[in-house]
Amino acid sequence: MSTITKPRWAKNAIIDPRGWRDSKTGELLVSKRFTREQIEEYVGVEPEVEDVVDPAPVTETNPLDAMKKAELVEFAEQNEIEVDASLKKAEIRAVIDAALAE
Whether the CB-CB separation of 30 and 10 falls below 8 Å is answered with: yes
Indicate the pLDDT class of residue 11, thresholds 50, 70 and 90.
confident
Indicate the pLDDT class of residue 86, thresholds 50, 70 and 90.
very high
Residue 93 has pLDDT above 80, yes or no: yes
pLDDT above 90 covers a percentage of the chain that reads: 34
Predicted structure pTM score: 0.43
Helix (H, G, I), strand (E, B) or coil at 40: helix
pLDDT above 70 covers a percentage of the chain that reads: 86
Residue 53 has pLDDT above 60, yes or no: yes
- Identify which of 78, 57, 58 has the alpha carbon closest to the alpha carbon of residue 67: 78
pLDDT value of residue 47:
62
Separation CA 95–CA 64 (nearest Å): 12
- 8-state DSSP, 93: H
Helix (H, G, I), strand (E, B) or coil at 14: strand
